[in-house]
Structure 1
């Protein structure tokens, strides 16, 4: 789906409302096929983002796990390493 939507569950510290909103925005942009809706569609677009963000937050609040929370910095370093290997292999 969207490469820009990242896992938000089971991190320490937990996902912020800004991260949830950003994920919802990326999702709605992908579904709508546009990054900037027309004025005629702005209200529907913003309404969808708000609902997706609320559903996402509800999901995150409801999920349970016995796994220890992941460290954001460690996961970001792993992602950078994967990207470096991927782009070095294609270049």
Structure 2
């Protein structure tokens, strides 16, 4: 699951709320052990996602760098190449 959490800082175009939410969902799934919570745990599960997303958004807004923004397409191509090397067909 954690492999689905991608770096979100210093990209052009900047990170979206949806990307932050998706990463937060993956994080909460990993630490809770649930891919989908039961009814009694639903409220706590979704509250945790919202709290993690809010903290992540604050973090990303407060970070600074002098490095040029990374290109999403180039980073995706690098990830595909690493995956192909790790899992040859």
Query: Same fold by TM (over 0.5)?
Result: yes
Aligned to 2:20: 20
Aligned to 2:48: 48
For residues 60 and 22 of structure 1, what CA distance do their matches in structure 2 show? 15
For residues 6 and 78 of structure 1, what CA distance do their matches in structure 2 show? 13
Root-mean-square deviation (Å): 1.1
Aligned to 1:58: 58
Gaps of 5+ in 1: none
For residues 83 and 9 of structure 1, what CA distance do their matches in structure 2 show? 21
TM-score (norm 1): 0.94
Deviation at 1:2, TM superposition (A): 1.1
Deviation at 1:85, TM superposition (A): 1.1
For residues 85 and 46 of structure 1, what CA distance do their matches in structure 2 show? 36
Gaps of 5+ in 2: none
Deviation at 1:18, TM superposition (A): 0.2
Alignment length (residue pairs): 89
TM-score (norm 2): 0.96
Any runs of at least 4 consecutive aligned residues in structure 1 with deviations exceeding 3 A, and if so which?
Answer: none
